[in-house]
Amino acid sequence: MIFNSAAKKSSLLRRYNRLLNKYSTYPNELSLAQIAETLACTSRYARSLLNEMQEEGWLAWSSRPGRGALGVLQCRMTTAALETLLAGEYPAAETKNTPATVETRASEDGYRYVISFYRPLLTPVPSVHVDRAGRHVLQMVHDGLMRHLPEQREPVPGLAHTVRVSDDGLCWRFMLRRGLVWHNGEPVAPEQLLAALQRYVGGPGLPHVVSATLRGHVLTLTLRQPDIMLPWRLANPVYALPHPENGSIGLGPFRVTEHTNTRMVLSRAANWYGETPQAAEVTFNTPLNSLPLPFEVHLDTPRSLLTPDAVTCKQSTDAFYYLFFNMLRARLSPEQQKVIRVLTRSISAAFIENEKNAAPLPEWMREEEESYVETPLPATLNLIYFRSPKMTKLVGALEKSLSYRGCRLNVTPVSVTHWLLQDNIWEEQDICFAFMRFGHYPEFSMEERFRHSVIWRWFWGTEQWQRATSTLDKINAGAAAAYHQRIQRLLRFMIHRGLIAPQFLQRYRLMAPTSIEGIHCYSQCWPDFTRLWTDEPDTDEGVATGAS
C-alpha cells in the first residue's frame, strides 16, 4: 500500500500501537466491535484500518462470517520492528511533538573524527532489530539504568547513580540521577524513564521482571525470581531509555545533529552526566568510491584523511556462524544431517584458510570429527539464512555441493531487521544458517539471542523450547560466578546433541592512525567515542575551537 503522506502513515502506526499495547503479538479471538473500541472508531472504519495494516504486513486478521462473530487478530511486529523497517522515520512510542525547549549547545572545542562505513545508518532508536553498527550508535546516543565500559565486564550505574538489591534478589531499587536533561533541552521527569522502562517489563529483555514502580526518584523493579544478569539486561543498548514521545531523543554522551543517506554526525551532548568527552564530533560517512569491508571500522582524523599516517590495528573475534536443522519438520534423517554437517565443515575450513576475516572456533565450541558417508538426500531442501556477504558466499558453496549430489536448495535470505520478527517464515524451512554477535559478555549474548529469536520454537517445538527456557531461568537464579560455565555447558550440550553446529568465528578490525589515543573498544571493535583524543603536536588540524 502507498500512503499519500508521512502524516497518514504516522497516524496508522499510532493506531497499530494501540492494538499492540493491548493484545501483544499473540493470537487473540476478538469481535470487530472490540477492535473498534480499542481503535476508538466505528466498526466499518476499523475493518478498513485492519485491511491497511494487513497490506503493510504489520498484522494478520482473519474474520469470520456472522454478526458479532469472533475473528483472529495477531500483531506480527513490535513497534520497534516497524521503526526499523520504516527506516527510522517514526519513534518507538506514539509520535507526538515534544515540548519546545531552548536547546543547550555544547562547546565546539574538541577533536573531530570520521568513520568510513560500508552502508548508511538508520536513526538510532532502541530496538532489538538494530544491527551491530546501530547498536554501537545507540550506546553513544542513549543511556539506560546501567551502562557498559569497554574494559570492564560488569556494568556500572548509568541513569541510576546507586543500585540496591534485597537479600532475596527479588527487589532492585535504582536511585535516579538528578538534573538529567534530554538532548532536545527538556528536563527529564522520572515518570518519563518509568514509561520507557515499562515497555520492556515481562518481555524477552526483562523476562523475570513483573513490575516497575516509581516513588520520587527511586525506581523499583520487582522480580518473580532472582536474576543475576539483570544489570547486563539493563545495560544492553537495545533496552536503553529514550524519550517516551520521540525515540530518537536520548540521554547519552552524543546527540545526532545531522543525518542523511550517506552521513550521520554525532556531536557532544551538553548535559550528559558523565565526564565530558574530548571528541566534539564523530561523523559516519559512506564513501561513494571505495566502500570499506563490512567487518572493518576505519577511524580517521581530518588530517589522516588528507595525509595518510601510520596505522594501528585492533582485532576481535566476537561473533560466529552456525548451522541448525528444523527438528519439528523432520525432513532430514540423522544420517542426512550428518552429511550436510560434514560438507559445511569442509566449506568452513576453506573459509578459515582463505579468508582473512574468518577464524577457527575455540576448542570448547568444536564438534567431534565426523566422517563422510554417502547418503541419498531429498530432491529439494529449503534453507533460510542471515543475509550478509560472507553468509551468501557460504550458502552458495553449499548450494553447489548439494546440487552435485542431486539436491536442489531453495534459498531464503533474511536481513537483520527481520530476523527476530514474530513471523512464520521459519515453518517451511529445513535448514538455517545463522550468525551470532557477542556483546559485552559473550555467554550472556547467547542467552539473549535464544530468548528473542522465535526460530527456536519453529525448529525445536514449543515443548523443547520451554525446557531450554526453564534451564536458562535456573541458571539466572543461580550463582553469578557459575553463569559463564553453565551457559557454555548448555551450548556444549546443544552441539553434542546436533541441535546446532558452529562453523567459524568472524574477525573484526579497527584501523586508526597512531595519532589517535584513548582507543577502548566494545565488541566488534567499535571504539568508545567518549575516550578518544588525538596526539597531533604543533597543529590545530582536527581540533575546532569556539573562538572565531
Please answer whether residues 416 and 131 qualify as being in contact, where contact means their C-beta atoms are separated by less than 8 angstroms. yes
Please answer whether residues 235 and 155 qualify as being in contact, where contact means their C-beta atoms are separated by less than 8 angstroms. yes
Question: pLDDT (tens digit, 0 to 9) for every residue of the chain, 548 residues total?
Answer: 333 344 556 678 778 888 887 877 666 778 888 888 888 888 888 888 888 887 666 777 877 666 666 788 877 665 545 554 444 433 333 334 444 444 556 567 889 999 988 777 888 999 887 888 889 999 999 999 999 999 888 999 999 999 999 999 999 999 999 999 999 999 999 999 999 999 899 888 899 999 999 999 999 999 999 999 999 999 999 999 999 888 889 999 999 999 887 889 999 999 999 999 999 999 998 876 666 677 889 999 999 988 878 899 999 998 889 999 999 888 999 999 999 999 999 999 999 999 888 999 998 888 888 887 889 999 999 999 888 888 889 999 999 999 999 999 999 888 766 666 656 678 889 999 988 877 667 777 878 878 877 788 888 888 888 888 899 899 989 888 888 888 888 888 888 888 889 999 999 999 999 999 999 999 889 999 999 999 976 555 445 444 33
pLDDT of residue 10: 66
pLDDT of residue 15: 84
pLDDT of residue 64: 64
Neighbours of 504 (CB within 10 A): 24
Under DSSP, is residue 229 helix (H, G, I), strand (E, B) or coil?
Answer: coil
Greatest alpha-carbon span in the chain: 82
- Which residues are paired to 263 by β-bridges? 285
Residue type, 88: G
pLDDT of residue 352: 93
pLDDT of residue 547: 37
Instruction: Please list, in sequence order, all residues whose beta carbon lies within 8 angstroms of the beta carbon of residue 49, skipping any fewer than 6 positions away.
Output: 12, 15, 39, 41
What residue has cell string 509520535?
95
Q: Inter-axis angle of helices 32-39 and 43-56, to 10 degrees? A: 90
Please answer whether residues 444 and 229 qualify as being in contact, where contact means their C-beta atoms are separated by less than 8 angstroms. yes
